[in-house]
Structure 1
Amino acid sequence: MKKRKIEIAVISDVHLGTLESRADELLSYLSSINPGKLILNGDIIDVWQFSKRYFPPSHMKVLRKLISMASKGTEVFYITGNHDEMLRKFSGTSMGNLHVVDKLVLQLHGKKAWFFHGDVFDLPIQNAKWLAKLGSYSYYLLILVNRWANWVLIKLGKERYSLSRKIRKSASQAEQYTQHFEESGVRMAIEHGYDYVVCGHIHQPKKQVHTTKRGSCTYLNSGDWIESLTALEYSFKRWKIYRYKQDKLLPFFVDEELKEMDINELIASISAPVEKKNKDKESID
């Protein structure tokens, strides 16, 4: 089936390996697009809560899909976050179209875009990781309770309700934290001459232009694939927030090779073009 062609797609905070990750919905989204670049802006795999006992087929299909997209020509950038920080030791590594980085800068039609996860602005994570992990577990427990409550509401014919979103909106400290996070990113971006600053981490999708005495910058946040189910898309010199729950997906079928192709075959398919290029170069020399 025909897929939407877009220049750049940005997703973050998928948290594969946890009960809360909405892997099926993400797989549907990825199967509906054909991006030139796909930026995974941190916390794709949740190493903090990773367990060999829980990594369902739908989560593995997402990984296979990402590798398959890279093998078919999409340039995939995996930007490390705090929940997948163990991958930072591989920063700077490339395998075909798949690149592991800590941050990324792109030129977009004469404007500079700065991509990074955003945990550098989170003092509890930098100074007390055990406290941050405790807060993360509490958040996911709240999500599980919310899922059970929503199951009951749906059975009763009522609309879903987000407990975590309600708590965030009612807590002034949470609002202050979000505002500080956004302002910190914008301030640093303006100081370094970036036109866009693109983050994840706080699970709140947003697009807003900030203007200060020192300049202006567009703040963008890709949200998450736990509650918001959102992505950022760039095409025709414009950014938009894609919302899975509201925007219509084109009809599609999940790629058939994902059902059959082994993960090692997918990795090999990425490496093949690079190896061929190196052999051709050697033969010329």
Structure 2
Amino acid sequence: MTSDVAPRHLRTLFLSDFHLGTRGSQADLLLDFLKWHDAETIYLVGDIIDGWRLKKSWYWPQAHNDVVQKLLRKGRKGARLVYIPGNHDEFLRDYLGLQMGGVEIADSIIHETADGKRLLVMHGDQFDVVVRHAKWLAFLGDHAYNLALALNTVVGKVRRKLGFEYWSLSAWAKLKVKNAVSFIGAFEQALLTEAKRVGADGVVCGHIHHPTIRDDLGIRYINTGDWVESCTAIVEHHDGRMEMIRWGDIAGQYAVEFEDEPEIDKVAA
């Protein structure tokens, strides 16, 4: 990819569940995405740093540090950065209402889109029965999930040799663990109920690693997905239109598409 083309400029970026500090984090793909996208406001919707894993064993490669530095650099260049902690980075909830290194820390926030819609932005773990009432079970599920992540590479190689298409064992495992105790539908409904309670037109959340934009529930529900399996982001265009980007699917094509565009502004990657 060339760094001579100005990044795509958006009104807002919603990103969550990087899980920096774990081997499953797709930090390289995330860095690539951040090189190609700028925004006036960037919401980091929880589980950016995986404090659960880092407490047990330290894993912090250069790519993970580069993600943090890239985001902070965007803040220095004028982007507003809002960090909404999740359950894996809940240690930051001790600093709600403060600003650290130019990054605002909030438990939740109301975002107003360009077309006047009010969206409640929060991680969502507060409405997960596992995390809220049985944290030991959440940790157990987290161990199983990380084991599945470790097996992903082996499973992928075997499936390719057998001629099967890509399938994520970790995504399947996460879904099964969550479904055992808290159905996705119940989670979505709980978030929508909270959005209605605060008078919002919709909600943007993360947590369950299940990217979606839905308008069929009486109020808009948006889940940002994650940067472990789906590698998805939610973006708001300058007219208020919301879009999901599945970066793992389009990264290569995106570079080709923008290769021949004029150099609007030399922006360092």
The TM tier, using the shorter chain, reads 0.7 to 0.9
One-letter amino acid of the structure 1 residue matched with residue 144 of structure 2? S
5+ long unaligned stretches in structure 2: 260-265
Letter of the 1:12 counterpart: S
- The equivalent position to 1:5 in structure 2, one of 9, 12, 27, is 9
Specify which of 219, 227, 230 is matched with residue 228 of structure 1.
230
Q: What is the aligned-residue identity percentage?
A: 37
3-state SS of paired residue (2:225): coil
1:82–1:254 Cα change, 3 Å: farther
The CA deviation at 1:210 is 3.6
* Residue 26 (str. 1) matches residue 30 (str. 2): yes
Q: Work out whether 1:106 is the aligned partner of 2:111.
A: yes
Q: How does 1:72-221 map to 2 (within 5 A)?
A: 72-95=77-100, 97-108=102-113, 109-154=115-160, 158-166=164-172, 173=179, 177-211=183-217, 216-221=218-223
> Distance between the aligned counterparts of 1:15 and 1:167, measured in 2?
16
User: 1:208/1:57 Cα in 2 relative to 1: closer, same or farther (>3 Å)?
Assistant: same
- 2:136 and 2:182 mapped to 1: Cα distance? 22
> Partner of 1:66 in structure 2?
71
Q: Which moved more, 1:219-228 or 1:102-111?
A: 102-111
Per the alignment, do residues 128 and 14 of structure 1 end up closer, same or farther by CA in structure 2, a change over 3 Å counting? same
Answer yes or no: is 1:239 the counterpart of 2:242.
yes
Q: Counterparts in 2 of 1:49-60, with a 5 A limit?
A: 49-50=53-54, 53-60=58-65
Task: State the number of aligned residues.
Answer: 252
1:39 to partner: Cα distance: 0.6
Give the 3-state SS of the residue equivalent to 2:146 in structure 1: helix
Deviation by residue 1:157-213 (Cα, 9 ceiling, x = unmatched): 5432222444567789459610000011112212322112000000000000144xx
Q: Pick the structure with greater CA Rg.
A: 1
Amino acid corresponding to residue 177 of structure 1 in structure 2: F
- Pairwise CA distance, 1:83: 0.2
Structure 1 residues 191 and 53, CA gap change in structure 2 (3 angstroms): closer
Q: Is the 8 A contact 2:170 2:229 kept in 1?
A: no
* RMSD (CA atoms): 2.4
1:44 maps to which residue?
48
Aligned-partner residue type, residue 137 of structure 1: H
**Alignment partners' CA distance in 2, 1:86 and 1:224:** 20
1:153, distance to aligned residue in structure 2 (A): 3.2
